Structure 1
Amino acid sequence: MSAGPGGLIDVRIIERRQLTDRVDEFTFAPIQSNSLPHWSPGSHIDVHTPAGVVRQYSLTSDPDDHGHYRIAVAKCEDGRGGSLSLHHGSHEASVLRISPPRNHFALTRALKYVFVAGGIGITPLISLVAEAESKGRPWSLLYTGADQAHMAYATELCERYGDRVVIHSSSNEGRVTLFDQLAGLPPGTAVYTCGPESLIADATAACADQHAVDVFYERFAATDNAAAQDSPFEVSLALSGRTVEVPIGRSILDVFDDEGIVTVSSCREGVCGTCEAEVVSGEVEHRDSVLTSEERAENETMMLCVSRCTSGRLVLDL
């Protein structure tokens, strides 16, 4: 395996396939090895695009295929350049650098699974659906989008799994009503959802009052923390003994960069989990989209790129 700085992996694009008019699939293979790091369903990787922008993409390939990774990328014309760089700046035989897989969206144990995807949010659910199928657990998938012709993998999923996959076309049927679709779920159900923020919010609200129904979600964009009030605070590093001040309007990660404190980071928006650090003491105001409510309450880790301190002083295991 050809590894670069920071444990990054050099891969070659061996296949590029158009899935829809705006979604392309990229298949990667290692350059100097026959295998890539093992991964579990729900995992994602960082991709260093030709433009130098780092973006996170869910793996859609088979976890048992250790020789290839596969991702699907939706071209976003009004985005920040990551998807456009891959669509316009890469081709078969291009060499890219990726991170090892990480997983903040693993399948938990449940009696039944309900998967809800919106648009390109189908990508992390593909491997989760396959895992639920392999475990013999009952499951269903609701896949929403403008119309089926523009929904990546819709036809393949229907052909493979039959009527357990429901395609909802908003152009033909209007906006999906999750309060109806998710009503009356039996206790022990786990709902996994990924897509636009409105879809995640609706799924969470629809399940809020249902007994023993858990909702897990993955975001592709950061939540809006504009209304949150910043206060300055102090961060002490338990291992190095250093202490820094984090002012209003600056993140811990920003200050670490200024002070030459080396940490690993990627998205800088609280969605990828790369900069997660262990908390020794202090109260954290969590602003990420990675940790569950239970993990936030435990106050054991935090994302350095967005989360802050409410107790005036943090001690981190760094």
Structure 2
Amino acid sequence: MRTVRVTSRTREAEDVVSFVLSGEDLPSWEPGAHIDVEIRSGLIRQYSLCGDDAGWRIAVLREENGRGGSRYLHDHISVGDTLRVSEPRNNFPLIAAEKHIFVAGGIGITPLLPMLARARDWTLFYGGRHRSRMAFLAELARYGDRVRVLPEDEHGLLPLADIFADGDAPVYCCGPEPLLAAAERLCPPYRLRVERFHARELDAEPARGFEVLASASGKTVQVGAEQSILDALDLAGIPMPSSCREGTCGTCETPVLDGEVEHLDSVLSAQEREAGKTMMVCVSRARSNRLVLDI
């Protein structure tokens, strides 16, 4: 973690504030990257970098029913204050293509903003409950009719079936869970990349115990039915890097050498889950009786 200073705070929409962060030798980053922000001890949240690649900017939606992280940033962080943040990580990279389709719902616009400046030919469909709650509209205006602003109270829900029927271009989608779930139903998996801010809603298999072999140390670790692999490894003296502990940040991604994984994360694509080469050990589990991990 590193310490950064808040050099700008801007109201971007109703209940949305952006913060520009500065510090010594901030590393460069690519569109789709996010950082962990330490709100207070034990409370860490992930925010997409949404400025240009020369600086760090995040935008925070105030969530009244959350665990307090966004409320704290809104109520207590001002210009001149410092924050502890991680290095950028990217689970949502922009893949080069002749054309892209971007779909944003509400604060889901944030990881897509830097992509618009990098992509060649693209269209953005941007939805939200009300225009007043949709951030960065003035910033997006410079792109003209490539941006379709479609507030729900004016246009209804985003017409996803029509959007995805437009050719074979890759689709990048970020927003609330109902939007992402609908996109996953309607868009072919090979075209779709999504970014989740919260864990996806899943019908997990009944929990049961299994064992994990840590190949580097040769240790075999028993994982209980109500225990995560991450916690079991930690108790066995094999600490793993972690942050969100709900399968959304990608910090604990671990190579899988053998065994079948029950993927419960919100990071990997459908193709990556099917390949089974890596897993998020904070939430995902074993379908087989044993997993061999490259740790």
Category of TM-score, reference length = shorter chain:
over 0.9
Give, as a single letter, the amino acid of the residue that structure 1 aligns with 2:9.
R
> Which residue of 2 is the match for residue 170 of structure 1?
152
> Which residue of 2 is the match for residue 261 of structure 1?
238
Between the aligned partners of 2:74 and 2:234, the Cα distance in structure 1 is: 31
**Structure 1 position 173, deviation (Å):** 2.1
**Structure 1 position 312, deviation (Å):** 0.6
> Which residue of 2 is the match for residue 117 of structure 1?
104
Matched position secondary structure for 1:124: coil
> Which residue of 2 is the match for residue 156 of structure 1?
139
Asked whether 1:14 is paired with 2:7, we answer yes
- Once the two structures are aligned, what percentage of the paired residues are identical? 48
Asked whether 1:285 is paired with 2:265, we answer no
Matched position secondary structure for 2:115: helix
**TM-score, structure 1 as length reference:** 0.89
Asked whether 1:316 is paired with 2:293, we answer yes
CA contact (8 A) 1:50 1:89 kept: no
Q: What residue ranges of structure 2 are gaps of 5+ in the alignment? A: none
Between the aligned partners of 1:50 and 1:285, the Cα distance in structure 2 is: 32
**Structure 1 position 84, deviation (Å):** 1.3
CA contact (8 A) 1:115 1:139 kept: yes
In proportion to residue count, which structure has more strand? Answer: 2
Distance 1:258 1:9, change over 3 A: same
Q: CA RMSD in A?
A: 1.6
**Structure 1 position 186, deviation (Å):** 1.7
Q: What residue ranges of structure 1 are gaps of 5+ in the alignment? A: 1-7
Between the aligned partners of 1:260 and 1:95, the Cα distance in structure 2 is: 33
Between the aligned partners of 2:205 and 2:195, the Cα distance in structure 1 is: 21
> Which residue of 2 is the match for residue 4 of structure 1?
none
CA contact (8 A) 1:118 1:145 kept: yes
> Which residue of 2 is the match for residue 39 of structure 1?
29
> Which residue of 2 is the match for residue 206 of structure 1?
186
Give, as a single letter, the amino acid of the residue that structure 2 aligns with 1:221.
H
Alignment of 1:232-251 (within 5 A): 232-251=209-228
* Aligned counterpart in structure 1 of residue 249 of structure 2, from 258, 272, 277: 272
Please list the CA deviations of residues 256-314 of structure 1 after superposition, one character each: whole Å capped at 9, or x if unmatched.
23334211101111111000111121111111111112212222111011111111111
Alignment of 1:97-108 (within 5 A): 97-108=84-95
Between the aligned partners of 2:98 and 2:167, the Cα distance in structure 1 is: 9
CA contact (8 A) 1:57 1:71 kept: yes
> Which residue of 2 is the match for residue 196 of structure 1?
176
Distance 1:202 1:226, change over 3 A: closer
CA contact (8 A) 1:279 1:314 kept: yes
CA contact (8 A) 2:204 2:264 kept: no
